[in-house]
Amino acid sequence: MLEGVLIAESLRVGAQMAGIRLQVTNLTRVEVTDAADDQPRLWTLLDFTAEESAAQHLADHLASSLLRPTRS
């Protein structure tokens, strides 16, 4: 069984992760008081589990759905 945490604000606008069976085990909203200027102050954390057989599919979707870091 895979376990992970996804920060919802790390997904790029328009990203869609369809066809992946994730079980959300916890949903938390946190305030980051020392966030950098280019980071959101409020974060949504989704703890999840998924089947091992979904690992590559999940990794591929995450790779194409996450925001790219900005360079200074």
In a domain, 47, yes or no: yes
> For the chain, where are the alpha helices, taking DSSP H only?
55-65
In a domain, 72, yes or no: no
* Parent domain of 44: 2-65
Overall domain count for the chain: 1
**What global pTM score does this model have?**
0.82
Structure confidence at residue 71 as a pLDDT band (50, 70, 90): low
In a domain, 27, yes or no: yes
Give Cα 69 to chain centroid, integer Å.
14
Interval 5-22: pLDDT, tens: 999 999 999 998 888 899
In a domain, 10, yes or no: yes
- DSSP β-bridge partners for residue 48: 4, 24
Interval 22-66: pLDDT, tens: 999 999 999 999 988 888 999 999 999 999 999 999 999 999 998
